[in-house]
Structure 1
Amino acid sequence: MDLKTAGALRRLRLISAPEAVSFLLLLVCSVLKRTTDFNAVPVMGMVHGVLFVGYVVLWALAWRSAGWGFGRAALLFVLSVLPTGGFFAERTLARECEEAVVAARTQPQEAVGA
């Protein structure tokens, strides 16, 4: 993997946790709307919607850049629609991003030595 792929993975990783937090906050706001007079659903819905669309766009870019198979890409998409799935996606992407950076840094050294 090259640094461009590592960058795509990093961007997806950076949006996955905030997207998961916004989903959880939206669920809390939905409960509060039905149990109290507090109604933050329109605001939190917009915030979550923007983050979710950003996640999907970055997911598609990372899929294309990293060359994932359908199963891997589908797993990361399904994690985005589960309330706490973004946290698991972030952890998985952190490992993959780190491996991509290490591979990209060692690749030019191998070419010079050959």
Structure 2
Amino acid sequence: MLKLFKSVAILEGISYLLLFGLTMPLKYWADMGGPNKIVGYAHGILFIAYVVVAFLFWYDRKWSIKRLFILMAASLLPFATFYVDKKYLSGLQ
């Protein structure tokens, strides 16, 4: 479960950065909507996967509600999934 959660968290973070750091500017500044649509769909799927896997991981670890809130909030903030990986997931077995 840990390996799955770490993978989904990193992929979701990368898709977030690609969406808002690369494809959104391409859509609005260069009138290229195609990449934004593809990355947007991928990010949406990864976001949902992150939320589901984060909840399952939290439940499996029997962590506090505070940690669940941190895991869920991380899906909404740029770079936060990388922070969660470093702070909460590194060193776990």
TM-score, normalised to structure 2's length?
0.88
- The 5 A counterparts of 1:9-88 are 9-27=2-20, 28-39=22-33, 40-88=35-83
Q: Which sections of structure 2, spanning at least 5 residues, go unmatched?
A: none
Within the candidate set 79, 89, 93, 1:93 is matched to 89
Q: Which amino acid aligns with 1:12?
A: F
Distance between the aligned counterparts of 1:80 and 1:71, measured in 2?
Answer: 15
Deviation of 1:77 (Å)? 1.0
* Length, aligned pairs only: 90
* Structure number with bigger Rg: 1
Deviation of 1:90 (Å)? 1.5
CA RMSD of aligned residues (A): 1.2
Query: Percent of aligned positions with the same letter in both sequences?
Result: 30
Runs of 4+ with deviation above 2 angstroms:
none
Greater helix percent: which structure?
1
SS state at 2:63 partner: coil
Deviation of 1:32 (Å)? 1.4
